Amino acid sequence: MRFKLKSDFSPTGDQPEAINQLVEGIKNDEKYQTLLGVTGSGKTFTVANVIEKVQKPTLVLAHNKTLAAQLYAEFKYFFPKNLVEYFVSYYDYYQPEAYIPSSGIYIEKDLSINDEIEKLRLSTTSSLLSGRKDIIVIASVSCIYGMGNPEQFKENIINIQINSNTSRTSLLNKLTQSLYSRNDEDFKQGNFRIKGDTVDIFPAYADFGYKIHFFGDEIEEIESFNINSNKVIDSHKSIEIYPANIFVTSPNTIEDAVKIINKDLIKQYEYFNECGRYLEAKRIRERTEFDVEMIQELGYCSGIENYSRYFDGREAGKRPFCLIDYFQNDFVTIIDESHVTIPQIRAMYGGDRSRKENLVDYGFRLPAALDNRPLKFEEFETLQKNIIFVSATPADYELAKCEGLYVEQIIRPTGLLDPLITVKPIKNQLDDLIHEIQLRINKKDKILVTTLTKKMSEELTKFLSKLNIKCKYIHSDIDTLERVEIMQELREDKFDVLIGVNLLREGLDLPEVSLVAILDADKEGFLRSSRSLTQTIGRAARHINGSAILYADRITKSMKKTIDETSYRRKKQISYNKKNKIEPKPITKRIDNPLSRKLLIGDENKIELAHEKFNINSNKSEIEKEIKIARKKMETAAKNLDFIIAAKYRDQIKKLKKLLQNKKSS
């Protein structure tokens, strides 16, 4: 099936040229391209058009789950008849296994898996191996973490055809091998049940089931049916059932793996003894022998991912399999907000490695655990064929890979211009700022002010409040949920001025903001780099009268670059609007919290109270009960893709567990 884009509008402004350039680059097999698109220029729509024209499977990478969920919804809308999949970490809560040598504390792995996201992950792998080319996968950077061997996954796909000589027992054995389990009472995803000569299968990746009707040792009929109503949806001549778990292995593989694990155990045990580290030797022997026994009896153990190299048949040091291995050779990778996503990918290996080294060095894990890891950045690059970096402020890495060339998209479909930038002296900057604020307040507009330090933002808030200017500050010490609520209150006209530090650079969609004021703009550094200044000023780009004031006594290189780029964009935007007789239109965005208002307002207080109402003298069972309640709420929030709320509950669980631990030790 081919990609078919659905949209109520056509490409305008810079979009047609950007689309043509990107498509041409892919056709010419250019490995790296960069789309520099200003805020509000319709970068996602441009990418959707590119996908339709090149007709290749596409991986879209985002730097967090929330952004991935937004992109998933957008691409679902653009391609309703094609396969759009969602692949992010399936943990609602995850505390990795760790050992802290300085304090001698061992932290056991603790996790909670979101069944709905696990289903979507399985749907992704199944779709990629189905042979269809019209597939878009929206993924977070977790896609570079190790997963099962795609060849082993393929080997366990069950082909079922009408009139084929397949006994019921044979099918049941295959289903069990593919990690499906029998459940005649509580029929869930990943289950099968038997009713006389009929076998019902509920695929782990689907919302419907299959009925397989047998006549002796022959399959007579195959039907898909509604799980809730049991009504038949359709009849099929043949179907494919994909494994119920990404990590699927055969009994022979397990047997071979156990032999190698035991060999490596002996080596590590002898090594510790030779070094006189008898505690570590005893520890590695006991832990590994217990894991091996569990694997032999049940087929799995806690922390089985640390033995993945043995099951995959990989040599020591060889990279793990990941989602990218499930794609065909010819695919396109889109890296959204690349200036943030690329550094994340680059940093993941190092963080994981340092934690695992302690576990290996102190006898908690075999050295093979080091090979259960995310990809190194060089490995990630090697696996790519065509990459498109998408950002309003591409970093040096992206520009270097594209040899300084990029595709420009600076015309907005709404006709809105980049903010007008004014530079004013630092002397009397507060007096001038107050004047500018009053002008905007009179027009019912909102203002963002950035400072260099947290202390400055707090002090400025106090100062402006004394002048009866309604304002609030925001910085990293403010709780995540509270930050969301503060920004929501700004849009709801509860106050007029939002003051902050770095958090005002990216991710704020506030159409009501007409002025961005940057204090001490000439203090060179991370917060006043060209990239940071551009991102900050861009917060006013959604207002028809958007403007920015840089308070500085000199023009730094970063300021000059930002001013020149903005001036260039404004000229081009004004020229285009005049030529095409376009009147800029303000963005009207519904004032609604991206999170669940009920959860945000109602349960936020409950979360805080949960921590405050318990102490060292509290009843143990009551604390454990509260942990269970918080965990359930966390799972619900994550299932609804409200990841910020889920994180809040996760933090609360940590606090309660710490309290419980202190109670046990006292």
Please check whether residue 450 is in contact with residue 476, taking contact to mean a CB–CB distance below 8 angstroms. Answer: no
Q: What angle do CA 524, 517, 440 make, to 5 degrees?
A: 175
- CB-based burial of residue 507 (10 Å sphere; 0-12 exposed, 13-18 middle, 19+ buried)? middle
At residue 273, the pLDDT reads 95
Question: By 3-state DSSP, what share of the chain in percent is helix, strand and coil, each rounded to 5?
Answer: 45, 20, 35
**Is residue 433 a contact partner of residue 449, using CB atoms and an 8 Å limit?**
yes
Residue 287: its pLDDT value, please?
93
| pLDDT at position 647 | 75
pLDDT on residue 596: 35
Residue 583 is classified by DSSP as P
d(Cα 60, Cα 48) in Å, to the nearest integer? 11
Residues 6+ apart with CB under 8 A from 144: 322, 323, 324, 345, 348, 374, 375, 380
> From CA 257, how far away is CA 299, in angstroms rounded?
11
518 Cβ partners below 8 Å, 6+ apart?
449, 450, 528, 533, 536, 537, 548, 549, 550, 551
| Predicted local distance difference test score (pLDDT) of residue 312 | 86
Q: Which residues of the chain have pLDDT under 70?
A: 66, 92-93, 479-482, 484, 503-509, 587-618, 638-644, 663-666
